[in-house]
Amino acid sequence: MRPGTVHALLGGNGSGKSTTIKILAGVYSADQGELEVLGRRFDLQSYSPATAQEAGLRFVHQDLGLFDELSIEENFALGSGYPRRGGGIDWRGLRRHVAELLAEYELAIDPQMPVGRLRPSDQTMVAIARALQDQSGGSRRVLVLDEPTARLAAHESELLLERVRRRAELGQTVIIVSHRLREVIAVADDFTVYRDGRVAGTIEGRTPSEDELIEVMAGGLVKALRPTGEAAHAEREPVFSVSGLTGGPVRGIDFTVHRGEILGLTGLVGSGRSSVLKILFGEHRPASGTMEFEGEPFAPRDIGEAMAAGVALVPEDRGAEAAFPELSVSENIAVATYKENWTGGVMPRGRERRTATGLIESFGVKVAGPDALFSSMSGGNQQKVVLSRWMQRAPKLLLLDEPTQGVDVMSRADIYDIIRRAAAEGCTVIVASSDLSEIHALCDRALVLSRGRISDEVIAGDLDVDELTSLVLREKTIPDATTEAQQ
C-alpha cells in the first residue's frame, strides 16, 4: 500500500478477502506469512489483536461495535478508557477531547448525543474517529474498513465515502473491503483483486472500469451483468394491472405488466417503490384504486391470499423480513410450503431435506448441506436460498425488492440468471431497486417514481445508466389525483 491512499481489496464470496482482514486483526491465526507496516515486521503465526494494535492497524467492521443507547463521548471512552480527575471521571476533559475529534472528522454534533440518534453515515464516521483517536502526526495508523457501506442507502454511502476520500487527501492510509464496485472505483486509488484465495490482479495509480474489475474477479461474468432487456414484452398478454393505486407514500399510480416481462420500479428514498410491492403482496391494504390479476379483480386481504393467487415477494431486508438465521437452510426453504407439506400433524423432514438438496443444487447455493445454519452462508448464497424458497412455488408474479443488495458480483450474476430464467418461463417479474445499473441491466421496462407518482417510463435500450440517473434525480412536480379531480 502507498501511504495516504485508499486501497480497495476486492473479490467474490470465498475469495479470501474477509479471511485476510481477520488475520490482520489477529482474530484468525495464519499458517505462515509476514506483515510489514511502516518498516516494522511481524510474524503472522505469532500474531494477536494486541500485535495488530501495536502494528498501527485500526479496524471498523460492518458491526460498528457502538452502543446506541450511550452517548458519543461514552462510546469513545469505552475504547480509550475514562479520564480520571480526583476521585471521579473527568467528564469535561472527555467532552472537550471528543468534541475536538468530531470537528476533525467533519462531524458537527454534540458529544452528549446518543449514538442511536445519528444518521447511519455519521455513526460510521464516529466509529472511524473512535478507532483513530490515538493517532497523532507522529504515529500514523492504517485504517481498515470492512464493508463500511453494506448497510447504508446510496446517499448515505456517498456521504461516507466523500469523507473517507478527504481523510486520504489529508494523509490517512485506508484499506477498504467492499462488493459495491461503482462506489469503490469512485473512492479508491489502488486495487487488489482476490480470486480463490490468491491475488488475481493489482491496479495501481489509475481508475479501472467496472468491467475491467469484473474480468479480473470472475472472467466471463461481465456478459451476465450487461443489459438483456427488450421491448417486445409489451406485445404479450397483460397479466397484472393497477389503476389509481394509493396507499402510504403511493399517491395514485397506473401501470400494466405483461407475461414474461421484467418491470423495474426505481426512484429516490421515499418515492414509494417498496410500498407498491407490499400492497401487491397483501402486506398493506391500499387506500384506493383497483388491481387486476389475469383478468380478474385482485384485492388480497392478507399475505396468505396473495400467495394463494401465485404472488411471491423477496423483501429488501433479508435478515429481518425474509430469513430465520438460526434455523437450517432446509427449514428456511420449507417455510413457504408448510401448508402444502404438513401431513398428519407433522412436517415430513426427509421430504423437506430432499427438496432443499434439490434446490441447493439447482440454484447453485454454496453451503455444506441442507442442515447447515442459514447464518453460516454468505449474503449472496442466503439470497439464493430466499429466491429458491419462492421459486419452488412456481409464482405467476414475482416481486423483488433490492434483490442483490449486500451480495458480491458473482452472486449478482447468478441472481440475474435466476430472474431471467423465471421470466423466460412465463413468470411476470417486478423489481424495485435503487441500483440504477441493476434496473438498466435487468429490466425490459422501468417506471421512475417521484413522490409517490410515476414521473417517467423508460423502455429497454432507450437510455444508458447516466441518463436514467438524471431522470431519477430530477424532481418533478406531479399533481396528485385529488388536485386533478378538482381541476
DSSP 274-326: HHHHHHHTTSS--SEEEEEETTEE---SSHHHHHHHTEEEE-S-IIIII--TT
Hey, which residues does 398 pair with through a beta bridge?
312, 429
* pTM tops 0.85, yes or no: no
Q: Cell 476486492, residue?
A: 10
Tell me the pLDDT of the chain (487 aa) as tens digits: 999 999 999 887 667 888 899 999 998 889 999 999 888 999 998 899 999 988 989 998 878 888 999 999 999 988 777 888 887 888 888 899 899 888 888 888 999 999 999 988 889 889 888 888 877 655 578 999 988 887 777 777 888 888 889 888 888 899 999 878 888 899 999 999 988 788 989 999 999 988 788 778 766 555 666 677 666 666 789 999 999 999 999 999 999 999 999 999 998 878 899 999 999 999 999 999 999 999 999 999 999 999 999 999 999 888 888 888 899 999 999 888 877 777 777 777 788 889 899 999 988 898 889 999 998 888 888 999 999 999 999 999 999 999 988 787 778 888 999 999 999 999 999 999 988 888 988 999 999 999 899 999 999 878 777 788 778 877 554 555 444 443 3
209-233 pLDDT, tens digit each: 887 887 787 665 556 666 776 666 6
Residue 191 to residue 11: CA distance in whole angstroms: 10
Q: Report yes or no: 62 and 145 within 8 Å, Cβ to Cβ.
A: no
Alpha helices in 363-435 (DSSP H): 379-391, 409-424
Provide the H-helix boundaries in 6-47.
17-24
CA 355 to mean position of chain CA atoms: 28
User: Please, what are the domains in the chain?
Assistant: 6-222 (3.40.50.300), 225-486 (3.40.50.300)
Contact 101, 76 (CB under 8 A): yes
* E strand or H helix at 256: strand 250-258
Report residue 146: phi and psi, to 5°.
-100, 105
Spatial CB neighbours of 319, under 8 Å, sequence gap ≥ 6 = 325
HSE-up of 111 (CA within 13 Å, CB side)?
A: 21
User: Can you say how many angstroms the Cα of residue 59 is from the centroid of all Cα atoms in its chain?
Assistant: 21
DSSP secondary structure string for all residues of 313-362: EE-S-IIIII--TTSBHHHHHHTTSHHHH-BTTB--HHHHHHHHHHHHHH
Express each pLDDT in 436-480 by its tens digit: 888 988 999 999 999 899 999 999 878 777 788 778 877 554 555
Burial (0-12, 13-18, 19+ Cβ within 10 Å), 129: buried
